[in-house]
Structure 1
Amino acid sequence: MPTTCSTNRKRNAGSGKETTLFEDVLSFIEAHERFLISGHVKPDGDCLGTEVALYHFLRQMGKKVRILNADPLERSLDFLGDDTPFEVHQRGQSLPEHDVHCLVDCSTLGRTGSVGQAAEGLSGVEYMVVDHHVGSDLGDGDILLWNPEAPSCGCLVYDLYRTAGAPLTPEAAEGIFVSIVADTGWFQYSNTTDEALAIAANLVSVGVKPHLIYNRLYRRNPREQIQLLGEALGHVRFEEDGRLAICPLPRSFMAKAESGGFNTDEILDQCRSVEGVEIVALLKEILDGKVKISLRSSDRYDVDDIAREFGGGGHKKASGAELPGPLSEAVQALEERCRERLRD
């Protein structure tokens, strides 16, 4: 069955959500001409791949489109920019003229960094959210292409192509495939549904080369990355009889990681590979002294509600938030909550 689309109009003051078909989103798109696409800060594969697919869809619809993010593409994903123009917003820069601002893999302007700050106070702009996170119906969207059961945001855009009868360009097909493998952990995670596999199979049938994408994503790391991974793993400790893996990374390490383009998600994957680990908590001390947390869990535990207690959110098995510093206090607060969850 096609993924459903939910719309949440501001005129309803958030009091009612209406489930519709994708035709509503298509009608909304047809009624506007200039689109700006932005994702969350530090965009990942799902965010960027979905932006690519949405960009080429809107171009096929004859729209004027630009992609503008607060951060550049990370090294492992830079190939997505070979045939799709990505722009990086400079703090203090005004936004290009647009009628619709598409928020991808997030639902609030606050998640888009400097782009969202530049958007504050703009009038005459409507917001279209393309997301699959729980709670996105409470965000800034005037219209939502949203389903929290979707394996990735790219799957929603795939269904948009299908509903419109629009052909998938090679760039769009590659973007959707990247979005799926990014959010399913290359078909390892529990969100690897029959829908995800069916869409991926169709993308391969139209020309996507999984082995080439895998090589671009995972086999271009500089040697320094191995050293940084080893150093990061030295910060990991195990608690609750090995069921909790917690890794606090101080600002001194994060400065090296950022300059070296190190993807800290690799730490999460390594910790999850350890037998008996049920919850992984990664805490990163960022530039302004705040602490960004990432949580992962096994099938037995829900970490989304933990993240929400700290003002964040995401998915049941993968979620995140941002805490005030210092790092030591953030570690104490998060560790205590994770221990409570494991003892429930």
Structure 2
Amino acid sequence: MTFRSQDTTAAANRRGGGSQRMLRVAKQLREELSMLMLTEMKDPRIRLASVTEVRPSPDLRSAIVRVSALGTDAEREAVIAGLRHAEGFLRSTLGDRLENLKNIPRLRFVLDDSIAYAVRVSSMLRELDASATPPAAPRPKHSSGDTGMTATPAVAWPGLTDVADDVRRIIDSSHDIVCMAHKDADADSLGSALAFAAMLRAIGKAPHPVVPDPVPFTLDYLPGYETLEREPERIDAIFTFDCATTGRFGEKRGLLESGRFPVVNIDHHVSNSAYGSVNLIQPDASATGQVVFRLLRTLGLPIPPEAATNLYAALLTDTGGFRHENTTEEALRLAAELVHLGADPAWIALKSYKSRAVSTLRLEALAVAAMRTELEGRLVWSEVTRGMLDEAGASWQETDGIIDVLQTVDTMTVAVLFKELQPDVTKISVRTRGDADATDLCSPFGGGGHRRAAGAELHAPLAVAQERVLQLAREQLRAA
């Protein structure tokens, strides 16, 4: 296994600065193009398309714009043709809006075939799975995991033992190690990061637990929460937990993509993009905390009581209090082992499920009152607007449990919660039952997750996001 070593030369620092600028420009272009497509383009097919990625050239003279569009192949090609025809108008308008750019890059619009392909393959494999055992998929490089937790057949990742030595080498050769959770961290992501940090501290390393803004105050009961850092001064390596793509690391994304450090990507999402120098991906695990436990046991590393507590919280919450379909015999045995190692199950359950603020309950009541059902109750959806937050006196971090309330409707097959993060940014959370796959609904919008739980973030106003997502949800349910 090879990875790019930490670069300490002045030339490398200059390259890093250029890379940071390219990332900023790409982000600006993606956001502005998304808004222009929504507000300035008359073609309804273009309004329902999404910009999934903008990749500027090093000299910023041109940029590849990847676009995801709904419909047939011909309809999707028509969207690209329309955008190419409008390139002059789009560049001119971008020039007025982006005053920090001296010249607007030439825009090359291309279809994001990877997302459409993934959705088609997922559907085809499920059909094959219903009648026969599907053929083995290619094994991705430097990645690890097993399939079996979800009904959607996943990539046959290499085993844990195939990458354990690589992980050991990175730990042994590093002192200052960042343990990073994803943006809007849940107990699985942050608990896994804090558990790994506790282990590193026990073996004499200097862990730096990091979580992108906003810091999740609802998880302040997790041991080690008080050690969270914003900007570590020294970094030798980065370990990430429970995150399928670098896009979910917010303002920390540039750090991961700088190429200056080895990155160990530990996750259980079947949709993981394998962005690390080493990728330990195990979709059969009930939680990323379970993957961390397996890794520590394989490497013979200690699991102190505070690590056991964090891993138990990760496992408990990602199985919905041991009620979801991913509650396996191994998960229950692991819970018992973690209790043996020092976790207090009653205290963790109290903090996880029975310590809610009044504002959280008020917000949940507003969301339930706004709930709609369609297709004989198979599609259930609701929203959380910024106005509802103000009315309840709540924050965005208090919205996490609302989707779980929506999925308690007895007729529900697909449940969707729309969150109005900004006037032009909407986040969706999706839960499914039966044959429905949550990733099929989220992947076309650049999201991902599991068969039963997935999410995505759309650069679109709430009403437009609802139009796009619900249109696809209805099509998928009618086709089922």
TM-score bracket, normalised by the shorter chain, equals 0.7 to 0.9
Match of 1:111 among 248, 253, 264: 248
From the superposition, tell whether residues 255 and 148 of structure 1 become closer, same or farther in structure 2 (CA, over 3 Å).
farther
Tell me which amino acid in the other structure corresponds to 1:43. A
C-alpha distance in 2, partners of 1:9/1:99? 20
C-alpha distance in 2, partners of 1:125/1:240? 50
Residues 23-34 of structure 1 correspond to what in structure 2 (within 5 A)? 23-34=165-176
Match of 1:55 among 192, 197, 209: 197
C-alpha distance in 2, partners of 1:314/1:258? 30
Deviations 1:6-28 (A, max 9, x none): 98459xxxxx9654503432233
Corresponding residue for residue 271 of structure 2: 135
Tell me which amino acid in the other structure corresponds to 1:169. P
- Larger displacement relative to structure 2 (59-68 or 76-85): 76-85
Q: Which has the higher helix share?
A: 2
- Larger displacement relative to structure 2 (207-216 or 173-182): 207-216
> Is residue 473 of structure 2 the alignment partner of residue 338 of structure 1?
yes
Deviations 1:233-273 (A, max 9, x none): 12110111011111122232245668446522322121111
**3-state SS in 1 of match to 2:192:** helix
From the superposition, tell whether residues 183 and 197 of structure 1 become closer, same or farther in structure 2 (CA, over 3 Å).
same
- Larger displacement relative to structure 2 (18-27 or 153-162): 18-27
Corresponding residue for residue 324 of structure 2: 189
From the superposition, tell whether residues 61 and 111 of structure 1 become closer, same or farther in structure 2 (CA, over 3 Å).
same
Query: Any unmatched runs of 5+ in structure 1?
Result: 1-5, 11-15
**Would you say the 8 A contact 2:176–2:206 is kept in 1?**
yes
Corresponding residue for residue 184 of structure 2: 42
Shift of 1:78: 0.7
Corresponding residue for residue 384 of structure 2: 249
Tell me which amino acid in the other structure corresponds to 1:234. A
Tell me which amino acid in the other structure corresponds to 1:146. I
**3-state SS in 1 of match to 2:238:** strand
Corresponding residue for residue 13 of structure 1: none
C-alpha distance in 1, partners of 2:141/2:236? 18
Tell me which amino acid in the other structure corresponds to 1:116. R
C-alpha distance in 2, partners of 1:103/1:257? 34
**Would you say the 8 A contact 2:202–2:304 is kept in 1?**
no
**3-state SS in 2 of match to 1:276:** coil
C-alpha distance in 1, partners of 2:390/2:354? 23
Tell me which amino acid in the other structure corresponds to 2:189. C
Residues 298-313 of structure 1 correspond to what in structure 2 (within 5 A)? 298-313=433-448
From the superposition, tell whether residues 258 and 316 of structure 1 become closer, same or farther in structure 2 (CA, over 3 Å).
farther
Shift of 1:42: 0.7
C-alpha distance in 2, partners of 1:123/1:174? 33
Corresponding residue for residue 145 of structure 1: 280
Corresponding residue for residue 216 of structure 1: 351
Shift of 1:123: 4.7
Corresponding residue for residue 91 of structure 2: none
**3-state SS in 1 of match to 2:401:** helix
Corresponding residue for residue 3 of structure 1: none
C-alpha distance in 1, partners of 2:383/2:397? 16
**3-state SS in 2 of match to 1:337:** helix
Kindly report structure 1 stretches of 4+ aligned residues shifted beyond 6 Å.
Answer: none
Match of 1:293 among 417, 428, 438: 428
**3-state SS in 1 of match to 2:320:** coil
Aligned length: 327
Tell me which amino acid in the other structure corresponds to 2:250. G
